[in-house]
Structure 1
């Protein structure tokens, strides 16, 4: 159960950092990359 929440918590922390630090298109690319990586991690682990 905990292994499903850990990547989500890490992603939220990374999203907050990216939101505060980055600007413009770089922010968008970073947010999409973080969300894609977490989706692959979660669904890859669950499959």
Structure 2
């Protein structure tokens, strides 16, 4: 099934995100909390193996 957007819709999209704008940020502007919050990456000390 094909989707065709009319000119008004495409113009509105261009108003929201101007042509040529890159939404990709290689510097990592947003990172999930599971990567940035140490508490979410590690088990509690009492639950860790004493290896």
| Same fold at TM > 0.5 | no
**Which is higher, the Rg of structure 1 or of structure 2?**
2
TM-score w.r.t. the length of structure 1 is: 0.27
Higher RCO (Cα < 8 Å, 6 or more apart)? 1
TM-score w.r.t. the length of structure 2 is: 0.25
